Amino acid sequence: MNKGIPVALCMLALAASGGASAAGSAALPRQDGSSITYYLDGNGSRTLLVLMQGSDCNSVAHNPVINEQFSTLLEGADVLTVEKYGLTRATAWNPAGDSPDCPESYFSHDSPEQRTRDYLQVIDALAGQHGYEQLVLLGGSEGAVVAALVASRREDVSALVTLNGGGRFFHDDVLYSMARELPPAALDEARAGFLGFRDSVMNAETMDLRMSGHGFRWWKSMFSLDQRATLQQVEAPLLIVQAERDESVSPGLAREQAEQLREGKSNVDFLLVENVDHKFRDDAGESRTDAVIASVRGWLGQQRVARN
């Protein structure tokens, strides 16, 4: 039933061309018998920086933006990354999209909820082993959604940073992206098709589905999320970063959500990064990621988050 439904979906904020290697891998067992693969770049720090990648099917071990840029956010901190269900360092890296090695288990099991459970399990294990005093979460795009979910379920989070996570409801961001990509003559039909697809997913217990690189569990999880409600549960200092020229999620909805959160909470800051797209590239195609990292680092300093 998924054929012919145009969905403008690009949620790869923490992905880029090239390849980079993460720290040595380790694993924890899930209840279903599969393994969570994770990487800890340990420096003996009392601060743990957790970085959460976007929505493509690629190994985070080879993601250069995470491993070479965002990993430097807090000098001296231990850095944790976690693979999605079914992925390992052996999964071939594809800078242009999903890995050609993307396994069936990924499509069957990957979702924001699954990722949240995995992060919580790994963080629990590492916190017990290392006795971290500070826990900083940063996620981009889908990773921003997951970071918020994790922060809403832990009381020991020192700071949460979300990058280009969009507005309250996922379907509104998809409709925004479709409107940016499709000609007006095709938009009404595409919109109706997508909303019909959403309703079918929400009304189903299960479905044989693979759409835009994701399976049924992912789509149901994304459609079910109320991001504002999740962020309202976060007590840690929260920085919402949004690219002004993002065409994958709505900058307007992101700002609106931040303003609504600030009406009842004092822990929320909003940073609009001007003249850049979803991957923080400017009009000339130059990356402004380093400038974003510098801004986030400055904000963390204001929250008294130590670097080591």
pLDDT at 17: 40
Reported confidence tier of residue 245, pLDDT bands at 50, 70, 90:
very high
Inter-residue contact 254 to 167 (CB < 8 Å): yes
| pLDDT, tens digit, 9 for 90 and up, residues 5-53 | 444 444 443 544 445 556 789 999 999 999 999 999 998 999 999 999 9
pTM: 0.93
Distance CA 180, CA 170 (A): 16
Average pLDDT over residues 99-106: 97
Distances (CA, A) of 123 to 27, 39, 118, 143: 12, 12, 9, 16
- DSSP 8-state code for residue 177: H
| pLDDT, tens digit, 9 for 90 and up, residues 144-193 | 999 999 999 999 999 999 999 999 999 999 999 999 999 999 999 999 99
Distance CA 40, CA 25 (A): 7
Give the residue numbers spanning the domain of 88.
Answer: 25-302
Question: Checking phi first, is residue 206 left (phi over 0); if not, alpha (psi -120 to 50) or beta?
Answer: beta
Residue 289 pLDDT > 60, yes or no? yes
Q: 170-181 and 184-202 are packed helices; what angle lies between their axes, rounded to 10 degrees?
A: 160
Residue 86 vs residue 21, higher pLDDT: 86
Find where tokens 């069957």 sit.
108
Average pLDDT over residues 85-94: 97
Q: Which residues contact 3 (CB under 8 A, 6 or more apart)?
A: none
Q: Which residues contact 71 (CB under 8 A, 6 or more apart)?
A: 41, 49, 51, 79
Reported confidence tier of residue 308, pLDDT bands at 50, 70, 90:
low
Residue 4 vs residue 241, higher pLDDT: 241
Find where tokens 């109706």 sit.
192
**Is 142 among the domain residues?**
yes
pLDDT at 43: 83
Which residue type, as a one-letter code, is found at position 232?
Answer: Q
**Is 228 among the domain residues?**
yes
**Which CATH number covers residue 277?**
3.40.50.1820
Q: In the numeric block, which tokens belong to residue 268?
A: 């929320």
Residue 266 pLDDT > 80, yes or no? yes
| pLDDT, tens digit, 9 for 90 and up, residues 181-230 | 999 999 999 999 999 999 999 999 999 999 999 999 999 999 999 999 99
Inter-residue contact 6 to 182 (CB < 8 Å): yes
Inter-residue contact 157 to 151 (CB < 8 Å): yes
Residue 2 pLDDT > 80, yes or no? no
pLDDT at 304: 85
Reported confidence tier of residue 60, pLDDT bands at 50, 70, 90:
very high
pLDDT at 305: 85
Inter-residue contact 84 to 110 (CB < 8 Å): yes
pLDDT at 13: 39
Domain count, the chain: 1
**Is 33 among the domain residues?**
yes
**Is 6 among the domain residues?**
no
**Is 19 among the domain residues?**
no
Q: What does the mean pLDDT of the chain come to?
A: 93
